[in-house]
Amino acid sequence: MANPIQEAIAKRAAQELEQGQIVNLGIGIPTLVANYVEHNHVYLHTENGMLGVEDVTEEDIDPNIVNAGKFAVGEAIGASYFDSAASFAMIRGGHVDVAILGVLQVDEQARIANWAVPGKNIIGVGGAMDLLVGARKVIVTTTHTSKDGKSKILKECNYPITSTRSVDTIITDLAVFKYIDGQLHLVELMPGADLKTVEANTEATFINSLK
């Protein structure tokens, strides 16, 4: 089960979405965003080949309807299925409005690292690189620091980057940043967070644009 910190980040990310958008949710915190999206508000796309994802109750689970995280999902009214090439044509071709992704690191150029950790034996990239080049807007959701308390918002990613493309919005348990004209702007503090804590836990340089 997700913890309250993850839920708070997901809830805030859901507020970024606009009526009628096509939205792709990554694995982890992004998947939770679906819980905060109003019915019929947006159309959820999953890269394994479905547009029109919705929640499913235990008794309605169909083992052949899953999302990219291989979790059972439901079929919304007007849903469609397609093969993997068509699914990534949607992504790469610029037909997906918003991608919400998890990250391991993000840097002050708003470039992200989320597919490889040096020295670790985990080999996988999935659809992350395609979503970065293709989605019109990219929102990343992450805890502000790693489990050992290190900032995940760095001057420069030291894990391999996922794309040279900068993301648009970063939402953590402490703050919301937007990347505008080549600089990170702190635009909002999350409930309970203060500026000092954000400054102490952010390695990247950012502009304070709090209102």
Partner 1 sequence: MKIYNSAEEALECVQSGQTIMVGGFGLVGGPLTLIDTLVELEVNDLTIISNNLGEQGKGLGKLLEQKKVKKAIGSYFTGNRDVGDAFQRGEIEIELLPQGTLAESIRAGGAGIAGYYTKTSFGTNLAKGKETKMFKGEEYVLEEALQADVAIIRAYKADTLGNLVYYKTARNFNPLMATAAKTVIVEVEEIVEAGELKSDEIATPHLFVDRVILAKKILTKEGVIEHG
Give, as ranges, the residues between 47 and 86 that touch partner 1 (CB under 8 A). Answer: 47-50, 61-66, 70, 75, 81-85
Looking at the Cβ atoms of 43 and 206, the one nearer to partner 1 is 43
Looking at the Cβ atoms of 141 and 163, the one nearer to partner 1 is 163
In whole angstroms, give the CA distance from residue 130 to residue 163: 9
- 195, containing H or E segment: helix 195-200
Show the site string, 127-166: x = touches partner 1 by CB under 8 A, - = not: xxxx--xx-------------------------xxxxx--
The candidate with the shortest Cα–Cα distance to 171, out of 146, 153, 150, is: 153
- Residues making up the chain, counted from first to last: 211
In whole angstroms, give the CA distance from residue 211 to residue 143: 23
* Residue 188 known to be catalytic: no
Residues contacting partner 1: total by CB under 8 A: 41
Are the CB atoms for 209 and 195 separated by under 8 Å?
A: no
Binding status of residue 25 toward partner 1 by CB under 8 A? no
Binding status of residue 192 toward partner 1 by CB under 8 A? no
Phi and psi at residue 96, to the nearest 5°: -100, 125
Residues that bind partner 1 (CB under 8 A): 46-50, 61-66, 70, 75, 81-85, 87-88, 91-92, 116, 120-130, 133-134, 160-164
Residues carrying an active site annotation: 47
